[in-house]
Structures are given as C-alpha cells and as structure tokens.
Structure 1
Amino acid sequence: MTNNETFIMDFKEIRADNLPLVGGKGANLGEMAAAGFHVPPGFCLTTAAFHRFIDSVPQKEKLYNRLNSAVDLEDVRKAGRYVREVLLDTPVPGDVAIAAIQAWTEAGIHEAYAVRSSATAEDLPGVSFAGQQDTYLNIIGKDKLLDGVRRCWVSLFNDRAIIYRNQNNFSHEDVALSVVVQQMVMAEKSGIMFTVDPLTGHRHTLAIDASFGLGEALVSGAVTPDSYRVDKRNNSVIDSRISEKLIAVFPEKEGGIRQEQLSLEQQNQIVLSDNEILALAEMGSQVESHYESPQDIEWAVAGGNIYLLQSRPITSLYPADELVSPDNSLHVFFSLGHQQNMIRAMAPLSLSLFPIILPVKLNTDGSTPYLKFSGGRIFVDVTQGLRHPLAHRVLFGLLSQFDILAPRAFKLAMARPEFKGPHGIHLSLKTIKFIFGIFTRVLKTLWRRNLEGFTYQTNERIDTFITETASLLEDYSPGKKQIQVIFDVIQDTFPFFLNWVPEAAAGNIAARLLTKTAKKLLSPEKIEALTLGIQGNVVTEMNLALGDLADLAKQSPSLAEWFTHLDKDTFSWLEKAEKIDGSAPFFTAWKKFLDNYGSRGSSEIDIMMPRWNENPLPVLMVIGGNILKTESSRSLFVAQAAKREEVFLELLGIAGHGLLGKLRVWKIKRLYHVLTETGGMREHHKFVLIRLFWVVKQILKKNALRLVQEGKLTSKDDLWFLTSQELLEIWNDTSTHWDELINRRKDDLEKFQKLTPPLILTSDGETPIVRHQVDVAPPGALLGNPVSPGVAEGIAHVVLDPLTETLKPGEILIAPFTDPGWTPLFINAAGLVMNIGGELAHGSVIAREYAIPAVVGVPNATVEIKTGQHLRVDGNRGIVEIL
C-alpha cells in the first residue's frame, strides 16, 4: 500500500468497518454512498495522516502529559490553549500534503469543499461526540484546504472535546481524527431530520427542521427553523409549524460563508413543500432501515435534488424494543422504578426476581406479559386497567400518589385512536372472593378490631419467617436445587405479606380520614401534627437508632473525634475505633443496629447493590454528621408524639359539640387508634423483602463461588448478569458461551445507567410530555409537586450516590430519587428537591415526618441545580428558585 492510499480514502472505497481509519463521520458517509444514497462525493484524510502530523511535533509527549494532568476546568483551558498553539504552528507534513492535494486534484480543483472533522469516537453506537470538533465550509484552493485540514486536527483539542473525553473515560492518546473533504452543496434549503420524534420518542413519527440556505444557521442556533412531523406508517404530514426565519447563511463566491438578513416576505415563507417533506421522510426511513436504528440526519436541497450530508445514531432515546404490543394496538407501560423511588438500571438477575415476587402467572421462561424489561428497568403493562371504566380511576388515584403528573400523561396516551380496544379484565370467582375478603378485613380493621400490640406481633412473625428461611436455605448445598428453593421462597413472600398488608392499608386510610375530618376543625399545621411521631415505622426506628448511636459516640470524646477521620477502608477504621477507650457502649449498639438494619442500603430493591453489612461507610458518615448536631433525633420524635397527642385531645374537645358530637368523637377515637397502632407499617412489606434479599444474597454469593470454581463463571459478580432461568440452566449447560453473554450485558448495563427512564412509555416508544403548572411563578423557577409544606432557603447539595456523600446541617438535598438507603441524609437536610416522585414517594413521606419543605417531580433537578447554589424551596406551591 502506498502512502497516498494510507493517508487518503475515497468515499467509494469506505465501509463501516473502516471506522478506525476514517472516523465515525467518514465511515457513515462511505457506508451511505455504497448503499446508493445521494451523498456528495469526497474523500477522507485517514487517522494515519493525523498520526503522521502529531508524530511530527517535537513536544508530542509533553502535549499529552499536559492534557492528562489537567484536573479542573482552569487546568483544561490552559492545557488546551497550549496544545492548540503548538499544533497550529506545526505545518502539515509534506507527504500528507502531497497526498491530499493529489486527491483534491482528482476530485476537482474548481469545486468548493466542506472540510469536516471525523473523530474515531464520534457517531458511535451509544456515544455521541457530534459537534465536538470543527467544520469549515466553502473551502476553495489548495492552501485553504490544507489549512482547514490542520484546523480540524487541532479542533480535537478544543476545551469542549477535552472535557467530554474526560467525562466519558476516553483516552486522549487513543482518540484520533480523520478529516472529511466533501464537495460542497450550495444549498437553497437545508436542515436536520430525526427518524423518530426527538421530544416524545414516538417511533412512528419523523421530525424535520428546515431553514433557507446552508445548515450552519440552524446548527448554530442562529435561526428558528420551520418544523414538520410525518407519520411514517402512511407517509403523511401530520404537523407543520412555520417560524419567522430572520437570517440565513449562504456561500461567498470567493470562499467562506456569510450571514444574510432575509426579506420580510421570505422570513415567514414555508421552506419545504409537501412533496419535499415526504421525499425527505422517505429517504429518512430508508436510512433508518439501512442502519436498523433511529438516525439523526443532515440534509440539503440544491437544484431540486435532495442530498444526504450525514447520518448518525440517536443516542438519547430510551429503548423500547422490549415493550412490544402483543395485539397491534397501543399498549401503555408504567415505570415500576418511579413507584419504588429507584430509577437506576438493574442487572438481569435483579430484574428477573420481580416476576417471581409478584402474584402473576409466569411463562415457562420465567417472564410475564404484565412486566417488561427495557433499558435495565421494569415496566408494568397497565393497558387493561386503563381501558377499564372503573379500574382506570383506581390506577389514576394510586399512581398520582407517586407522581402527580401520571394521570395527565395517561390521558394523552389514552386519547390516541390506536389505544382503543377491549379491556380484557375478567375476574374469576376465586379472585372476586379474594378481593372481597381483603376489602372486608380492611373494613373490620378500620371500625371493629382491637389492634393493640398488632405491630409488635407482626414484627415477631417477620423475625421468625426470616430466621426459618435462612435455616431452610442453609440445609442445601450450592447448586441447582438450592437455587430452585431460593425462587420458591421468594414466590412465597407475597402471600406472607398478607399477614399485615390489609392492616397497614387501614392505617393509611385512617390517616386520610382523620385529617379529612379535622380539616374543618383545626389549622393546617395542627392537622399535619396529627400524623407525625407514629411508632412502629421501620424507617423512623432506623433513624432514631442512628441518632442514638451518635449520642453514644459523643460520650467518648476520643471516639467522636475519630469520626472526623472516616476512611474508605471502613472495616479497618472500625477495628481501630473499637480500641478507643469508652467505645464499648457504642459498639454494642452498633452491632445491634447492623443486625436490625444491615440488610439495607441505597437502591436496595436491586439485590446486586451493596448493603450496609457489606459497606457501612454511608451509615458511619451520617453518624459523624449527627455528632455535630445539638438536638437529638429521638427528642424531636418524642416532641412530635407529644404534639400529636395534644392536638388529638384538642380535636376531641372541638368535635364533641353539636348534634352529632358523640358520633364524631367515636369516629375520631377509632381512627386515631387505627392510625397509632398500624399507621407505621407502610414500609413493613418492603423491609421484609430487603431482609429476605440479604439472606438470599449471601446464599447466591456462595453459588457464584462454586460456579467460578467449576469454570462456568469468570468472576463471582458475573452471577448478577444471568437471568433467574439461566441461573438454573447454567449448572448443566456445557454449550453456552456465558462469558460473551455476560460481558455484553455488562456493557449494556453501563450504557443503561446513563439513561433517564420515563414515567410512562408506550409500545411505540412515545413518552407523553406533561409539565407542572403554576399560575404565578418567578422567572426561571423550577416547578414540581409540593409534597411537604413550608419554605426553606439554603445551600444546594446535589447527591447522586448516598454511598459517597453526606449533608451538612442546613443544606438542601437535591436527589434523583430516594429510598430508605437515603433516609439518613434527611437528618441534616433543610429541604428536599427530587427529579421524580409524588406525595407517597419515600422522600415525600420522610420530608413530612421531619417537617422539611419538599418539592418533588422536578425534571432534571440534579442537572439544573448545582451544588453550592443558594436555593429557596417552596413546599407550599411547588416552586424551586435559584437565588
């Protein structure tokens, strides 16, 4: 192969597998040209030419050292500026220049060209580096061509590209740059096209943005384009929005481009005719079909011809491939993670345990038509319930408690013609009897039963269940039989919940009825006090135990001081702490705490996630923070309980007046009894599941070790990347390449973690767009669901992982979601803002118990708000202001 062939590749000879040589943009152009799409001709200077250029720099090693040593934004700016200055002073190597000029001569020296960067990490599946490097338009002449090529190479080291590589763990040395030299299309019209709707994700809707002149005005944001929507199923235009296009970009005769003000007539003129829209849509569908994935396409129109300038995969879409409609009608799915306040992606084994837990009929492969997995999350098919005239009301009421926007989003999906169909809900006599039995039990609990001691009795029953389950599983050795017993035990968990769930439901109903009764008699502050300080809540008890541990640590000044030296090597830190004089009372309570709550942790419904028994650092960090507080958590709880009792007696005194006074007093006493005896049990079922998961996890780890010893798994953690069915099959399977499957799933999980799951997703990939509405809100305010009253001002602290961070007293917690693993952070929080959630979300409930103003369901709060910003959180109106 000659140097010319090494440094230059024509579009005609480029295919997708040439990506290491010509980068993502170059490979896509070659692939599309070969597929017969109308791509303007051109060639690429390969990465070999880039390496030749970089190798010609005497300070090459110093350049990369400067980039790799940059630790903050200012370092990046200084390093980037230095690298760019050196490279711009470096001439294009002679052999590369000769090859480029020869290719340019063969392509046509009188033509104008677009010179574009094409990085080897750009336009890859799952990664979007688009726009990180530079583009030069309407380049005329060999000198301008070579200068444009060099500037493209140098743009690999602009600040934005350096930061992006750092954030995505791409090595600066490993990323190279090809340069695309493409014949310039003197566009009369141009724009971009998404083969799915970029706002809603609707897979059958294609979106086109168009403006006059070159696409530079649109890409740079200098013009508001016309916007069109096309239904790909019947190739019809379903929406056209004509914008006021003040300017356009056109090529200069001597090279380069100019920005020009459009005439008043042209500013409001439609850019594309219906025929052009449909022709573009047809091309977009063909490109999507060729790549077998949704595409982001750049296009241009010149002389009546449509040109395809670029295509790249859309990486921001939430995957919907697994949410297939079984009957060709539109199905609607609800994210279970939102209901559980945990939206992290989960590994296959964690996902596949949920169909076993829930009382639904399973297929032979362990799947169920009602639960679907997509993007590492669980989605519930609620189509039948939404179609039912009564069940949809129940769904609206239930799910609005976890996200107030849910009913509005459901209504948007239900309004689509494709959604209509029979509900298909037909209850058997057995099911009707079961539901009636539960309903009757709830009513008896509310109005007749003496519930004194019920929570204590339930706790005793739960302890026995966990102990007996652990003993049963230990009777078996690691292997297929033990795994099957694990699944049998998990399947028996839901029936076990029924020992107290009706009573817990009655406690929740009692709280609502009591506050409703009190609304006409008490102030809002006193009504709120009626439901606080309830004993028996496992999360509250856990937090009180943490406060007690801090109080015990304070009794030993040396131990309290040792908490200021917490180390990531937590067990070594604990070992040294136990040797401190006066630490014995603390460690007696600490061991009891882990016995009771060590099975908990962040994102704990994912069995793969570490528990406090495995990594107690987050809990110790909270204890360290509590040591600094003057008021103990228990004194606050005691004060809440005393206030509740005081308000209750006041309510009785007020309610006793009038004709129905005696009846009202009886009703209030009854509801108060139910509330105080069972109102704290709402988290019991989850706590049982988490305790069971800890027992199961220890057994699974032993099985993982056995599978590694037998050579079926490479590492113990590989077990989490098998499904429950595969975990049964692997013991006798000798043909499956498990390593290959597991590594692919690990890559998938890493990719899924970067995605934000939607609350609601349809079978055609649509996410209905709904937003909070407030009549009067300050400019720039973030809006959400007010779930805990009050107004708080403080410094924002964005926490993405409670395992690594803690809050200082008075900070406002900004979180994507919370679950019981996050609860210790609330002790120091002055306010709460969450990306997701409703009034019954975990964070909402805890915020009310701690009297912390809270606004939840604030989209992208963890992105919009930065740590250190001064905030005002209005929990009365659902408004968050950055001050």
Structure 2
Amino acid sequence: MRYITQLADLGRGDLAVAGGKGANLGELTRAGLPVPPGFVLTTAAYRAYVAASGIGDEIVAAASDGRADDVRALFTAPVPDEIAAELRAARTELGPAVAVRSSATAEDLDDASFAGQQDTFLDVRGDDALLIAVRDCWASLWTSRAVAYRVRRGIDPEEVALAVVVQEMVDADAAGVMFTANPTTGARDEIVLAAAWGLGEAVVSGAVTTDDLVVEKGTGRVRSRSTADKAVRTVATGRGTEDRPVPAEQRSRPVLDDAEATALAALGTRIEEWFGAPQDVEWARADGAFAIVQSRPITALPEPAAPPPTDWSVPDRSSFYVRASIVEQLPDPLTPLFAELVDGSVTRSLQAVFGELLGRSDVVGEGDVALPTVNGYAYYRYSRRGMARLTLASLPAFRALLRRGRQSLRARWQERAHPQYVEAVERASARPVEGLTDAELLDGAAELLDAGTTYYTAVQTIIPLAVSSESVFTRFYERLVRRPGGPPAATFLLGFDSAPIRAERSLYDLATWTRTRPALVAALSAASTASTVAAIEADGPPAGVDAATWQEWCDRFQQHLAVHGHTVYNLDIAVAVPADDPAPLLGTLRFYLDGGGADPTRRQRQAAQRREEATTAVAARLDPVRRAAFRRLLRWAQSAAPLREDALADVGLAWPQLRRMLRELGARLVAAGVVERPDDVFWLHRAEILADPPVPRSDVVAQRRAVWRGQRQVTPPQVLPLGSWWEKAFARWLPASSGEQTGAVLRGIGASVGQVTATARVLGGPADFGRLRPGDVLVASITTPAWTSLFAMASAVVTDVGGPLSHSSIVAREYGIPAVLGTNVATRRIPDGARVRVDGDAGTVTLLDEDGSG
C-alpha cells in the first residue's frame, strides 16, 4: 500500500511518516506492549490531499496571518479515491468500531508534547464515517490552539504535516492517564495514576472527575489514593460517544484496586525503560485487560523535590536567630559548600570590623555570632552574651558615623576596604587554576570568600550613613518644608550616577552601537539566547554577519562584562554571575534593540534637572533658618545617596575567580567519576571533595538538590525561635513583614510611588530573566544591582524582602515605577502570570483574580 503502514512496522524514527503519536505507538507495539491493532495513514496522504485540493498556498497564508478558522474551512473536498480505497481495504482487518486519532509531525516530541492540539474521534463505524473522520483530523492540524502553540515554538507552517492513526476501538469500562514520574513533585520513584469509568478521552480533556493514585516505582506499592465521587462517564453509543450518569453503586467505588494499580504501574515502568525517559501514558481497560493507546514524553517535569519543611525549631532557644543584613542577599536555601564556608567567614569579618572600629578584639567572642542554617536558610545567630556585647559596643560604633576626613566610614571604604578587596582578587586571579592542587583550590576559594565577606561587612558600615542621612532629610522636608502638591523627598536624591546606572548605560550604549548595523541586529534578534552565547564562546559570527563586525561586537560585550560582570544575583557562590553566564543580559539587550526602554543618559539628565529646579524653588521660598538647614541636610543626603549602590555593586568582585576555582575542582571531580557536572561541586562538603580515594557522590548530590527544592517552597520566618520575645521585640526592624498574608491584598512597604495594573512575572533568579516581558510587574524575593537591567522593562516591582533604602527602592525611583517591598510572601502568594494592581503609595499589591476586580 502506498499511503498506509501497519503499526508493527513503525518505530520512533518514523516521525516524518507517522507523526509523533503513530511513531510512538509503533515503538510500543515493537516492544510487545498491549497496543490495540491498527495502522497509520501516513503524512504522504495528507500532502496528497492538500495538493489535489489546491489549498497549500492558502493554508500557509492564512496560518501565517493567524486565521486558523479560515484554514479549517478549506478542508471540504472529499478524500481522493486512491487514498479512500486503501483506507477501506485496511479497515477490514479491524473490528466494527475504530478510534481515529490525529498524529502531527510536531507532536509528542521530547521537548514539546502538543497534547490535545489536534482532534480524536472514537467509535467510528462504517467507511463513510471513517473518511469524514480522517478529513476532520487533517483539518484539526490548523485549530487556533494548534497554530498558536506552533507559533510560540517557532515551527514553520510549511514544515508540518499530519498522519492519522486508525486502531481497533477499545470499548473500555475504565480508562485514564499514567505519569511514570510525579508531574507535581518531579519524584522519579513515583508513578501517578488517574482513573475514571468509561472511555479515556473525557479524562484527558478534564471533563470527568478521576480517582488519583500514587504507586511506588519498582515495588508497585500504592503509596496514596484519592477516590472521587464520579458522577459522569463517557461511553460508546454505536454512533459516537456521549456522557452518561455513573450508576449509583459505582460513583464512590474505586476504579482500580491495588493489584490493578500495581499491574498498570508495571506497564508504565516498562514503557519508561523502553523510551529511556519519563512518559505520559493513556490507558484503557476492557474485560479486565489493559491496553496502551498513547505514550509521549513528559516535557514539563519539574526536578524532584523533597517535602517542604514545617519544623522551625532551633538548636538553642536561648539564642536569637534573624534574617537580616547579609542574609537579605541570600533569599534561597544555601548550597552545602557555601553554607560550610560562609559561616566562619562572616564571624571572622565581624571580629575584624569591630576590632578596627573600636580597637578591641573581644567584642565578638567565640560562639557569640554565627551564620548557621535552619531548613537550609541562613540566619544570623546571636547568643545572649553576644547580643549584650554588641549592644554595649553599638554606641561607640555609632560614633564612627560622625568621623570626618581620613577616619570617616566613607574614607575607610574607599581608601582601605575596597582597595584591599581588589588586591586580594587580583592576587588570586594571577595564579592559574590549572596549576593548583585540590586543597589549594579550596583554600584559595575560602580566602576569596573571606575577602568578600570582609568587604561586605565594610559596606554594611556605609549603609547607616545612607540610611540616616536620607531619613533625617526626608523627615525634615516632609514635616517642615513640603507643601501640598510639592515633590516627594525622593525627587531631591535622584539623577546621580551609581554603579547600577553605569551598567545600564553601558548595555544601552552597546545596543545603540549595534542598531547602526542591521545585519547584526537581525542576527541577534532571530537567534536564541543559547545560540548567541555559544557564538560568543566559539568566537564565530552568526549567519549574515561579517567576522570583523562580530569581533568588534564581542569585544564591546566582553568589555561590558569585564567592568560589570561581577555583580551578584545572589551571594551564594553556586549562582552564576554575568561574567560566567551572560545569557540574562541578552534579553534586555534585545529589548533595547527593539526600541524599548528610555535612554538612561537622558533619563538621568532629566531627573537631575527636576532635582535642581525643585531645589531652587524650595530654597527660594524658605526663611533663612529653614533654608540653611534644608541645604545642609540635602548636601549630606545627596553625598551619601549613591554610596550604597556603588559599594554593593562590587561585593561580587571575587565571585568570578572564586567560581572559576571551584568549577575547576568540579571538572576534576567529573573526570574522577565523583559527580556528573562541574557545578555539582557546590553540593558537596570540603571533606567529600578532598576524599582520597574519590567516592562517587552523584546520588548524594541528587538527594541534596531535591531537599533544597523542597526547602525553597517555604517562606522562612524572619526571627526564630517562633513565639519568643525576640520575635516580638525586633519585628518592626526587619526587612520583611512577619508571618503569612492571606486574602487578595498583600501589604508591604511603599518604596516608590505610583499605581500600575499589569501581569505579574515571578522570577526566581537569572535563569528566569528571559520570561519577563515589557510591561510586566517584576516579582522577586530580592533584587540586587545585577537585576537592574530588568527595571527598564518592568512596569512595577514587588519583593519579599526590602525597605525604603534597598536596591529595589532606589532603582525603582530612578526609573519612575511603583515598588512595594518587604511583603515576605509575594513570590509564593502571587501566581506567575496573574493580573495584579501595585499601589506604591499605599504599599499594597492586589491579586485581581482573587478579589474579583479582574
């Protein structure tokens, strides 16, 4: 036969002939699994029909314009005689009723399932009905949902075709779906079953309620089951299907008993092993036997996660545990190696800074302060003795704020702390990592981390200067100067240069230069982020770009990374910085290439002009006493305003070299068979890394990653122990609200004024940056200077952690977008893609779908 191939003659390599569904069913048939007999009307038949009907050009034109309904209307001609004759002949080998299923070439793929995009017809009887069902399957290649799905995946409409699977109908008394890995938790050791009475199409479409079971892979033990009240079932009628009430005695009865669930799970395990990847399987049961009617890869399977922790007890209830200061830059659970290295490093840095400021080495004693983890999250732990010592030392330390000249905190940061940090990084970077032993690499990484935490502690002494100067000026202005309708206090502190603004300007200037080279713009806009990064690393130009232009662009981009690529998204050394992975920057660069965003130089100049005009106007109307106080306090606040951002931007100076050293260790561990990927080194402890002889630890890494993912699903309390007087006494000083927030309105700190209603985009880190679209509300746990590139696209900012002087607040005001910070729960309470109203004046975020305002 020319157009028909039996399922037994097909396999996974026949995608172009049989489509995804047909190829997979052929593979299952070859594997000896219980697949109903049938055949595939190949894609050649579809192409022959389109050619005979003369509708090919019209299909492509309408599909390219998004007119899917117009495409389907083209499929009116009868099936050509030659194809119809083959169908009638092949049909005689099957039972009286058949199932007719669409099988597109862009379907059931490893990276895109396209599930439910095309049509299926059950209980098809007679040749005429079969021919109509086949033609309708062909037309369903062009449903609105199928066309939109392919557009999102970048699939050319001229390249797709559709085969049709025809199988003997299984008159099922029960059916459902089976996932050979848990699609919710990602657990690979669990098989999840959904079962209902009747045929399976209603289960797949979600039209009926199902029993849900979780079966332990390997043993077949049923770990859990939920039996539904199943009111409706889909049945064959002899002329199609219809929904009918489930008999009363069956409604609450389990569809599958434990033995059947075990048997079905065993089939799922065989299927997964045959395909070599977790599968989404459709099954049916008739006369006590199971049939497999479809299998496709699970394309959106989350990584395995352990159960989220619920116990927040601490080892020492007499100590005070708080998430503040450096912990604000650690929003996620810590990776094991970083947790091991940073604890002692932070303690040593505190000892050093108090020793320098007060000339005493006994302020922070052994055991007074530490940075342990609770459920993976970092907390400052202060013993009672340590808290008492720090409290007594706070007044003399506060006096350091008043020092001037070479003894001031600003001079200490600029002339000592920063140069010492730069020198430490340069010294470490001068040693080729390839020539260092494993122990030297670990020791060198620890020394660099010590240099980083020491610098961060120095930065923390700058922050009170910025906080106090802005707070005093704001209070004076709002109470004694501002008139109704006057500019907010923040107006007088905007338009100054800072490291994040310089980084933004550098990227914008690169985009401006690029826009003068159309071929380069076209190449960067068309290419995926991954392919652009690969081209940068391979030092080879994309198609259509000459080598000289590409080299100059790469040189300019690398220069940007050399100056700004050390900014951290998260202080945990397991998180890549832009110098390691520039992919997150490319989304913003494309945004600029498309004409998005404001020129940062112009925006800064306009802000400075508004600032100066407002300053002149206010000073002119004040009496001499208030004018003098206004000018003096304003000079103080303006001199300190950019310091915080400049200081914080360089915290990660050591991170590129630190990560280079540790990833060299990781590469050696891969070569020794200890782990699978270089980045797995961050999930080991020092003793495990240096073990001699090496011990394979891939299973340990996988287990720790799963625990980390479970921990990341919870919101850590700001203060521990829970319910202690510590929690009540310090709650108001913390960078996020305490406890959960329920209801449609989340409250935080209004840190930048204005109101915006838009789509929320919840970003967990740099890997998610590409999901932000212009006009989205940026929702994140925190933002650091490395997040600044996203502010050009965002319409508002919402964070879990932060206050009026955090990075999010300062940059949001520079960009003129609303910000609500310190909600504690935004990333967990706001669904990604939800419509929200951000009110920076009131400090609220309203989930419009929940309050009925959407």
Task: Give the SS at the match of 2:14.
Answer: helix
TM-score normalised according to structure 2 size: 0.61
Question: Which of 459, 462, 469 matches 2:414?
Answer: 459
Question: Which of 562, 580, 590 matches 1:607?
Answer: 580
Cα distance 1:199–1:507, how it changes in 2: closer, same or farther (>3 A)? farther
Structure 1: stretches of 5+ with no match in the other structure: 324-329, 334-382, 411-421, 517-522, 551-562, 573-592, 644-649, 651-672, 701-721, 734-740, 742-757, 778-782
Question: Which of 276, 296, 299 matches 2:280?
Answer: 296
- How far did residue 299 of structure 1 move? 1.0
- How far did residue 257 of structure 1 move? 0.6
- How far did residue 313 of structure 1 move? 1.0
In terms of mean alpha carbon deviation, does 299-308 or 484-493 score higher? 484-493
For 1:341, the equivalent position in structure 2 comes to none
Task: Give the SS at the match of 1:36.
Answer: coil
Cα distance 1:302–1:469, how it changes in 2: closer, same or farther (>3 A)? same
Question: Which of 271, 274, 296 matches 2:258?
Answer: 274
Cα distance 1:424–1:842, how it changes in 2: closer, same or farther (>3 A)? closer
TM-score normalised according to structure 1 size: 0.59
Report if the CA contact (8 A) 2:469-2:640 is conserved: no
Cα distance 1:864–1:97, how it changes in 2: closer, same or farther (>3 A)? same
For 1:102, the equivalent position in structure 2 comes to 89
For 1:82, the equivalent position in structure 2 comes to 70
Residue by residue over 1:90-114, the C-alpha shift from the partner in whole angstroms, topping out at 9 and shown as x without a partner, is: 53351x2222222212x22x43111
Cα distance 1:18–1:489, how it changes in 2: closer, same or farther (>3 A)? same
Matched residues in 2 for 1:11 and 1:842: separation? 61
Report if the CA contact (8 A) 1:544-1:633 is conserved: no
Question: Which of 347, 351, 355 matches 1:437?
Answer: 351
For 1:794, the equivalent position in structure 2 comes to 756
- How far did residue 533 of structure 1 move? 10
For 2:820, the equivalent position in structure 1 comes to 854
Question: Which of 10, 14, 29 matches 2:10?
Answer: 14
Task: Give the SS at the match of 1:131.
Answer: coil
Matched residues in 2 for 1:101 and 1:86: separation? 24
Task: Give the SS at the match of 1:20.
Answer: helix
- Structure 1 letter corresponding to 2:847: V
Matched residues in 1 for 2:841 and 2:644: separation? 29
- How far did residue 147 of structure 1 move? 1.7
Cα distance 1:131–1:12, how it changes in 2: closer, same or farther (>3 A)? same
Task: Give the SS at the match of 2:53.
Answer: coil
Matched residues in 2 for 1:392 and 1:28: separation? 60
Report if the CA contact (8 A) 1:116-1:181 is conserved: yes
- Structure 2 letter corresponding to 1:605: P
Structure 2: stretches of 5+ with no match in the other structure: 359-392, 472-477, 482-487, 519-558, 570-576, 619-625, 627-635, 672-676, 678-701, 716-738
For 1:92, the equivalent position in structure 2 comes to 80
Output aligned runs, 1:490-501, within 5 Å: 493-501=448-456
In terms of mean alpha carbon deviation, does 262-271 or 96-105 score higher? 262-271
Task: Give the SS at the match of 1:154.
Answer: helix
Task: Give the SS at the match of 2:34.
Answer: coil
Matched residues in 1 for 2:182 and 2:578: separation? 33
Matched residues in 1 for 2:592 and 2:232: separation? 55
- Structure 2 letter corresponding to 1:88: T
Cα distance 1:764–1:796, how it changes in 2: closer, same or farther (>3 A)? closer
Matched residues in 2 for 1:249 and 1:434: separation? 69
Matched residues in 1 for 2:839 and 2:338: separation? 48
For 1:687, the equivalent position in structure 2 comes to 650
Matched residues in 1 for 2:746 and 2:210: separation? 30
Identity %: 25
Task: Give the SS at the match of 2:147.
Answer: helix
Cα distance 1:570–1:258, how it changes in 2: closer, same or farther (>3 A)? same
Matched residues in 2 for 1:621 and 1:635: separation? 23
Output aligned runs, 1:576-725, within 5 Å: 605-609=578-582, 618=592, 623-624=598-599, 627=602, 632=607, 680-681=643-644, 684=647, 686-687=649-650, 689=652
Residue by residue over 1:121-165, the C-alpha shift from the partner in whole angstroms, topping out at 9 and shown as x without a partner, is: 211111121211111111111221122112111211112111111
- How far did residue 492 of structure 1 move? 6.6
Report if the CA contact (8 A) 1:621-1:806 is conserved: no
Output aligned runs, 1:248-263, within 5 Å: 248-253=233-238, 255-263=239-247
Task: Give the SS at the match of 2:13.
Answer: helix
For 1:864, the equivalent position in structure 2 comes to 833
**Is 1:119 equivalent to 2:104 in the alignment?**
yes
Matched residues in 2 for 1:181 and 1:300: separation? 16
- Structure 2 letter corresponding to 1:454: L
Cα distance 1:806–1:113, how it changes in 2: closer, same or farther (>3 A)? closer
Report if the CA contact (8 A) 1:605-1:690 is conserved: no
Cα distance 1:785–1:146, how it changes in 2: closer, same or farther (>3 A)? farther
For 2:785, the equivalent position in structure 1 comes to 820
Matched residues in 2 for 1:221 and 1:803: separation? 31
Matched residues in 2 for 1:433 and 1:864: separation? 41
Matched residues in 2 for 1:724 and 1:686: separation? 26
Report if the CA contact (8 A) 2:498-2:645 is conserved: no
- Structure 2 letter corresponding to 1:458: W
- How far did residue 314 of structure 1 move? 0.8
Question: CA RMSD, aligned part only?
Answer: 6.4
Report if the CA contact (8 A) 1:19-1:27 is conserved: yes
Question: Which of 204, 218, 223 matches 1:238?
Answer: 223
Report if the CA contact (8 A) 1:113-1:140 is conserved: yes
Output aligned runs, 1:739-818, within 5 Å: 762=706, 774-777=741-744, 786=748, 788=750, 792-796=754-758, 813-814=777-778
- How far did residue 675 of structure 1 move? 14
Cα distance 1:534–1:282, how it changes in 2: closer, same or farther (>3 A)? farther
Residue by residue over 1:799-855, the C-alpha shift from the partner in whole angstroms, topping out at 9 and shown as x without a partner, is: 899999998xxx774467855355377589774246x87779853674589894426
Residue by residue over 1:249-307, the C-alpha shift from the partner in whole angstroms, topping out at 9 and shown as x without a partner, is: 10012x21111123444333332222222222222223222222221111111111111
- How far did residue 678 of structure 1 move? 11
Matched residues in 2 for 1:213 and 1:804: separation? 40
Matched residues in 2 for 1:168 and 1:90: separation? 32
- Structure 1 letter corresponding to 2:66: V
Report if the CA contact (8 A) 2:53-2:77 is conserved: no
Report if the CA contact (8 A) 1:786-1:874 is conserved: no
- How far did residue 15 of structure 1 move? 1.7
- How far did residue 44 of structure 1 move? 0.9
Matched residues in 2 for 1:691 and 1:285: separation? 47
Cα distance 1:768–1:134, how it changes in 2: closer, same or farther (>3 A)? farther
Matched residues in 1 for 2:318 and 2:115: separation? 46
Matched residues in 1 for 2:788 and 2:638: separation? 22
How many pairs are equivalent?
672
Cα distance 1:42–1:860, how it changes in 2: closer, same or farther (>3 A)? farther
Output aligned runs, 1:201-240, within 5 Å: 201-232=186-217, 234-240=219-225
Matched residues in 2 for 1:785 and 1:386: separation? 27
Report if the CA contact (8 A) 2:494-2:608 is conserved: no
Task: Give the SS at the match of 2:128.
Answer: helix
Matched residues in 2 for 1:513 and 1:391: separation? 31
- Structure 2 letter corresponding to 1:49: A
Task: Give the SS at the match of 1:88.
Answer: coil
Cα distance 1:846–1:763, how it changes in 2: closer, same or farther (>3 A)? same
Report if the CA contact (8 A) 1:247-1:259 is conserved: yes
Matched residues in 1 for 2:133 and 2:253: separation? 35
Report if the CA contact (8 A) 1:537-1:680 is conserved: no
Task: Give the SS at the match of 2:27.
Answer: helix
- How far did residue 28 of structure 1 move? 1.3
For 1:132, the equivalent position in structure 2 comes to 117
Question: Which of 505, 509, 515 matches 1:569?
Answer: 515
Residue by residue over 1:287-333, the C-alpha shift from the partner in whole angstroms, topping out at 9 and shown as x without a partner, is: 2222222211111111111111111111112346xx9xxxxxx7999
Output aligned runs, 1:726-741, within 5 Å: none
Residue by residue over 1:443-501, the C-alpha shift from the partner in whole angstroms, topping out at 9 and shown as x without a partner, is: 9585545365333443356876799799999999x99899x999999987534424522
